[in-house]
Amino acid sequence: MFSGKTEELIRRMKRAEFARLRVEIFKPQVDTRYSDDEVVSHDKNTIVSTPIDHSSQLLLLTSEIDVVGIDEAQFFDEGLPEVCTQLANSGIRVIVAGLDLDYLGRPFGPMPQLLALAEYVTKVHAICVQTGNHAHHSYRITDSNSLVELGEKDSYVPLSREAFVKAMEKKSAGTASELDLKLARFVEEVEEKRRQTLERRRLLKQMALEKAGESPDLSES
């Protein structure tokens, strides 16, 4: 979570569009956090997508596509690696984004096999909210034990291995509630600072355009 994996997927897909390649991006039907028919990063960058229920549908929807993007691959069924292999063997470039570990630190869904089959692997990391180091884990700050729980800052925080191990030990001992609350508040503060920074950038952009006598486009990318 918060590592920029969806942001990177969107960037690569848009570059392919600029190169006038035929692209299509897919996401699991269950992912409706921001939009039903778009892939949306935590920074609110978007690209039109097609939600699907099963990986087998990819074979039916990509006959005239040059580049296929797949977001949140960890939520797909176990048939996804074989489907991706078939697409790649047919000459289609396949770009997959997903979490490699679940909230308990275990390999997540079809991701291990996808990582093994991939010709190129790019690992991106969030920053641990406790240590400031690279975060390798998504620590869940809710009480849910469901494997699939869609969420963002209200459900997960990025932690380094060291911080994650300590947090899980406290959770196992039943003493994690205070820690979870502290982490949640910290993430809220970081998110508010980020929002304020984006707003300042928007206003500065508006002022610069008005000074230049241009009509301001206030959308933030």
**b or e along 164-176 (b: 16 or more beta carbons within 10 Å of the residue's beta carbon)?**
beebbeebeeeeb
Which segments within 29-175 are labelled E, that is strand?
38-40, 46-48, 50-52, 67-70, 93-96, 126-127, 134-135, 137-140, 156-159
Q: Buried (b) or exposed (e) across 188-221, using 16+ Cβ within 10 A?
A: eeeeeeeeeeeeeeeeeeeeeeeeeeeeeeeeee
- The pair of structure tokens assigned to 102 is 């679940």
72 noted as active-site residue: yes
- Whole-number Cα distances in Å, 111 to 67, 81, 87, 105, 176: 19, 8, 17, 13, 29
Classify burial at 90, counting beta carbons within 10 Å of its beta carbon; exposed 0-12, middle 13-18, buried 19 or more.
Answer: exposed
Catalytic one of 8, 64, 72, 152: 72
Place of tokens 């087998």: 56
- Beta-bridge partner residues of 50: 26
CA angle 137, 138, 144 (to 5 degrees): 135
The radius of gyration of the chain's CA atoms, rounded to the nearest angstrom, is 19
Active-site residue list: 72
